[in-house]
Amino acid sequence: MYCDKVIELLKELERSREDTIPPYNNDGINQVLSEMKTLDTEILDILHKNPRDNLPMDAVRLRRAAIERNKRCLMTYIWTRLQRLKEMRWEIGAILPSDVRQNLSQSEIEWFNNYCKSLVSYMKTIGPDTGLNLTQDTKPPKSLYTEVRSLVDAGKLELESGEVLILRKNSQYMLSRSQAEPLIRQGILEQVRH
């Protein structure tokens, strides 16, 4: 029946977890597009075959509705994926894990790069002269420094003062909050609770 293929696409997306992006289903999308083309030619056929004053309007309307619905579903497919990608930019940062990147289509990668660019250039224009990093201090800070424990052997970390710190697993450091926060979000450091 009409639109079954596109519903399959959406189901695939719905089944996947909200914080992942399943592989871009190029074949599925092409199949839906060709279904839409067939529907279009069918409508033209019906219009040509029947006399003008006695058109089977239901048949035409049905096909038209199917085209509209296919369009809506395809756009939803792309939109939902973009929403997830956008969320990843805020949660993970500008560098995506390689297995997420593999699942994206070419235009999605392009979109992501453009989104990063727009975000960065926006953050440069607001706040005091150097700009304001919106991904920082998502929760109100209580102190300038914080004690953290390293969860992995992360290697060298250059501090804002220019000193170089070597992060070793299970050792604790005192870092400035602004520098610790992105690393905590990435799961490299953990805040020590008292």
Helix, strand, or coil (residue 152): coil
Contact status: 13 vs another protein (CB under 8 A): yes
Question: What track of x and - describes contact with another protein for positions 78 through 117 (by CB under 8 A)?
Answer: -xx------xx--xx----x--------------------
Beta-bridged to residue 145, according to DSSP, are: 176
Helix, strand, or coil (residue 40): helix
Residue of 35, 55, 53 whose CA lies nearest to 45: 55
107-122 exposure pattern, b = at least 16 Cβ within 10 A, e = fewer: ebeebbeeeeeebeee
- Residues numbered 42 to 61 that lie near another protein (CB under 8 A) are 46, 56-59, 61
Q: Kindly tell me which of 130 and 143 has the beta carbon lying closer to another protein.
A: 143
Where on the chain is the footprint of another protein (CB under 8 A)? 1-3, 7, 10-11, 13-14, 17, 19-20, 46, 56-59, 61-62, 65, 69, 72-73, 75-76, 79-80, 87-88, 91-92, 97, 139-143, 146, 177, 180-181, 184-187, 190-191, 193
